[in-house]
Structure 1
Amino acid sequence: MDIDELMKRLFELYPEGYTDGFRNPFFVLISTVMSHRTRDEVTYPAARKLFEIYSTPEEMINADVGEIETLIRDVGFYRVKAGRIKEISGILLKKYDGRVPDDMESLLELPGVGRKTANCVLAHAFFKDALAVDTHVHRISNRLGLVNTKVPEETETELIKIFPQRYWKHINLLLVKLGQNICRPISPRCGVCVLNDICPKILL
């Protein structure tokens, strides 16, 4: 598959998709932690509601955990995540002067942060060349025949080999949008997909 042609079509389909960085690293970090096992359409309204009241690590660490739970109760495992938000805020204040670190190693030391979350922060908040692989990216990459992998970690490794570095930070946002609107897990809308003629349609 021609990678440049693939990305050209996705950029044309979602011209806002690759400039969709939230810029506030703390918001990106916390909202991505909140997004685990929760749909984006639930996560981001809850994150915005939280940040309207508590928008910094200082405010989060001083907030009552019950208040955080109430604000984010629409997301899955909200009690666990409220505790993690407090933990993360405390670590940021203690080790990083309240700032979100911009390197993979430091991000992975934060509770509830795996490679997907760390890569999202690096790509969307710091605009670094990082390739975040979530369930959408994993599924679509296999469906397109770009990779043949079992878990997102393997997909990340393989996609880094396939895509030029200049595309890495864009892949997550573009494929997530495609996965939400067209290349859905069940009943994908192949008939209206801009990749229809180049996709082998490998259904998982």
Structure 2
Amino acid sequence: MNKEKRIEILKRFRDNNPNPTTELEFNSDFELLIAVLLSAQATDVGVNKATRKLFPVADNPQDMLDLGVDGVKDYIKTIGLFNSKAENIIKTCKILVDKYDGEVPEDREALEALPGVGRKTANVVLNTAFGWPTIAVDTHIFRVANRTKFAPGKTVRAVEDRLEKVIPSEFKVDAHHWFILHGRYTCIARKPRCGSCIIEDLCEYKHKTSDD
């Protein structure tokens, strides 16, 4: 895909959704971190259902620590991998209290050192909480980038690196939200809804459908 097509795609995404953000519900950097940690192999809808009950009880690292692993499990047991996630949340909260005065660090290395936090989670937090131009590649972004030929790559990191290279700086802060939402609602895994796609004429996917 050439540069002109990519820029037109990004412009259409921006015109359609000028202020995109995550669909996870949060009121602080800490709540965002916990929500993203919970979202691995889970839906945002499922995470939000759990955190609507969890966050009113524990909206900071110390209160979460006071709940303990079993207490956290009670609130997140509807989410996949809840046992290991509860343990990681408690370990992460202890580090936040002991090392960072209960604050979420604005630092990639520090974030990735937290239990249960990988590169993708760190990218989401850096982007959504702190406005960094990072691109967190999940299954939706990986699929859209490859299917459209916007930024093809065989691995998540390859797609991330390619997106970082080809997306102009003016679009970078919002880009990963646009791609996630496009993959979640239009360019879906089983059968893309090409008939209702705002970039269908620019997309280089060979097996387009006529369905909305």
Shorter-chain-normalised TM-score: which range? Answer: over 0.9
Equivalent residue letter for 2:177:
L
Q: Structure 1 length as normaliser, TM-score? A: 0.93
User: Per the alignment, do residues 5 and 135 of structure 1 end up closer, same or farther by CA in structure 2, a change over 3 Å counting?
Assistant: same
Equivalent residue letter for 2:62:
E
Equivalent residue letter for 1:32:
V
Aligned residue in 1 for 2:176: 172
Aligned residue in 1 for 2:210: none
Aligned residue in 2 for 1:150: 154
8 A Cα contact 2:68 2:90, kept in partner: no
* Unpaired segments ≥5 residues, structure 1: none
Task: Tell me the distance in 1 between the aligned counterparts of 2:29 and 2:88.
Answer: 16
Q: Quote the sequence identity (%).
A: 35
1:30-179 equivalent positions in 2, closer than 5 A: 30-179=34-183
Asked if 1:14 corresponds to 2:17, the answer is yes
- Displacement, 1:202? 5.2
Aligned residue in 2 for 1:26: 30
Task: Tell me the distance in 2 between the aligned counterparts of 1:135 and 1:68.
Answer: 27
SS of structure 2 residue aligned to 1:118: helix
Task: Tell me the distance in 1 between the aligned counterparts of 2:46 and 2:154.
Answer: 27
Task: Tell me the distance in 1 between the aligned counterparts of 2:23 and 2:77.
Answer: 25
Q: How many residues align?
A: 203
Q: Structure 2 length as normaliser, TM-score? A: 0.89
Equivalent residue letter for 2:6:
I
User: Per the alignment, do residues 148 and 97 of structure 1 end up closer, same or farther by CA in structure 2, a change over 3 Å counting?
Assistant: same
Equivalent residue letter for 2:158:
E
Deviating 4+ runs (over 4 angstroms)? 18-23
Task: Tell me the distance in 1 between the aligned counterparts of 2:58 and 2:206.
Answer: 44
Q: Deviations over 1:68-108 (max 9, x none)?
A: 11111121101110111101000001111111010111111
Asked if 1:182 corresponds to 2:190, the answer is no
- Displacement, 1:138? 0.9
Task: Tell me the distance in 2 between the aligned counterparts of 1:29 and 1:37.
Answer: 15
Structure with the bigger RCO (C-alpha within 8 Å, sep 6+) is 1
Equivalent residue letter for 1:54:
A
SS of structure 1 residue aligned to 2:56: helix
Q: Deviations over 1:128-149 (max 9, x none)?
A: 2211111111110111102221
